[in-house]
Amino acid sequence: MTQKIDTLCVQAGYQPKRGEPRQMPIIQSTTFKYETSDQMGRLFDLEDAGYFYTRLQNPTNDMVAARIAALEGGVGAMLTSSGQAANFFACFNICEAGGHIISTSSIYGGTFNLLDTTMRKMGIDITFIDQEASDEEFEAAFKPNTKLLFGETLTNPNVRVLDIERLAKIAHKHGVPLIVDNTFPTPVNCRPFEWGADIVTHSTTKYMDGQGVQVGGCIVDSGNFDWMAHADKFPGLCTPDASYHGLVYAEKFGKAAYITKCTTHLMRDLGSIQAPQNAFYLGLGLQTLHVRVARHCSSAQTVAEFLQNHPAVKWINYPGLKGDKEYERAQKYLPNGSCGVMAFALKGDRDYANRFMDALKLITIETHVADCHTCILHPASHTHRQLSDEQLLEAGVAPDLMRLSIGLEAPEDIIEDIKNAIAIADNK
């Protein structure tokens, strides 16, 4: 990386030339003009690069995607309408009916449902495995039709740290890529490609946007996975695509084969494009990402230390805490801080937890996480309520777990709110 991440946040993806707007422009247009029929034809054959219809590509989206690709250190990126769409496309781009996916079990509830329900219905087989399982247990999960290994750098809502380097080695030994959802740390705190991950996904709805104003997602391609070396596993990338006159992605686009197919195939057919207006907001958010993430982390550290020492707290997961069982691993992968999210439980029953949450004033109850407002959620009664108790435990979500996302307010005020709410819960 030539420039520091702070500079890339502000400048990557858009450098105006003489007389052009200083701010990234919003190209609010469905279509683009050409002079000759032949010019247009060559775009449809993927012979020339260029814009023709915003369902596939839009200049504003591409500038923002290029910024995220630079931040992650990838060869290319594509924006999607949501984080869900990003994770679906990232998997479906290389795994179709008859294929098999191995995923760590402690992942975001929405992704768990996507894999376990919808992708199963599409004829894709899924194996969930504890991310702390031994190498041998992981190895045993692989089948001849396995196409990818999936995990989250920092799990939502448990805030566990993925051992990316170990999982990348296991995946590569079996000739498949490691896909990592890097939503919580953002590339400011962790760049999974540096540890061997091949594809990174994001819900840009979270810290990247940071203000809680728009839902979006992104897929970034490292360009490092050698598809042709495993051509039998990845026919979509390594054999002729009849819908583009027999073009072979891995031959034609080399290192950018995977991300190009995401756009020209999946976006073309499934159309979950991010609106250019939303991409513009995302670009604004990215400009301050490095400043905000550092503050989220320092405030979260202060609040986590307060909770760790409070007699009403039963347990807390925050990898920045000395004494957390993953502190050492966090120092390796996330030396500058993890994220602003923590998981904890209070001593007392479900009623007590509800009295506590209802008594909070500054901290709001929200189905959201990782933006500038501090918020709290009880996954068992909110985001994960579709899961049975058994599935909850399989996903590593304790029924008493509360997810607390520290925003950009003063940490003293956040702590004061928690203190008051505990006092109210104690007195009924």
Ligand X SMILES: *Cc1c(COP(=O)(O)O)cnc(C)c1O
Positions touching ligand X (CB under 6 A) are: 82-84, 87, 108, 110-111, 152, 156, 181, 183, 203, 205-206, 215, 217
CB 56 within 8 A of CB 188: no
CB of 263 to ligand X, least distance (A): 19
CB of 416 to ligand X, least distance (A): 28
Nearer to ligand X, 43 or 395 (CB): 395
CB of 391 to ligand X, least distance (A): 17
Tokens of 236: 């979509």
Following DSSP, what letter does each residue of 317-347 receive, concatenated?
A: E-TTSTT-TTHHHHHHH-TT---SEEEEEES
Mapping DSSP to helix (H, G, I), strand (E, B) and coil, where does residue 266 land? helix
CB of 208 to ligand X, least distance (A): 10
Nearer to ligand X, 76 or 379 (CB): 379
44 backbone dihedrals φ, ψ, rounded to 5°: -70, -25
Half-sphere exposure of 217 (CA within 13 A, CB side): 19
Nearer to ligand X, 110 or 399 (CB): 110
Beta-sheet pairing, 100-104 with 125-129: parallel
Nearer to ligand X, 106 or 260 (CB): 106
CB closest to ligand X, residue no = 83
- Residue 304: CB partners within 8 Å, gap ≥ 6? 316, 318, 320, 321, 342
Handedness of CA 101, 392, 164, 133 (dihedral sign): negative
CB of 211 to ligand X, least distance (A): 14
CB 218 within 8 A of CB 68: yes
Strand-by-strand arrangement of the 178-181 sheet: 76-80, 217-221, 199-203, 178-181, 146-152, 100-104, 125-129
Nearer to ligand X, 72 or 152 (CB): 152
CB of 183 to ligand X, least distance (A): 4
Nearer to ligand X, 217 or 236 (CB): 217
Please report, as a single letter, which amino acid is at residue 52. Answer: F
Q: Which residue in the block uniquely carries the two structure tokens 């809680």?
A: 212
Nearer to ligand X, 163 or 371 (CB): 371
CB of 204 to ligand X, least distance (A): 7
d(CA 151, CA 163): 10
Nearer to ligand X, 402 or 421 (CB): 402
CB of 206 to ligand X, least distance (A): 6
CB of 184 to ligand X, least distance (A): 6
Nearer to ligand X, 250 or 376 (CB): 376
Peptide bond into 276 cis (omega under 30): no
- For residue 221, what are the CA distances in angstroms to 62, 76, 262, 397? 14, 6, 10, 30
303 backbone dihedrals φ, ψ, rounded to 5°: -70, -40
Nearer to ligand X, 58 or 203 (CB): 203
Describe the crossing of helices 276-287 and 59-72 by its angle, rounded to 10 degrees: 30
Q: Using alpha carbons, select from 415, 313, 427 the residue that is nearest to residue 362.
A: 415
CB of 153 to ligand X, least distance (A): 9
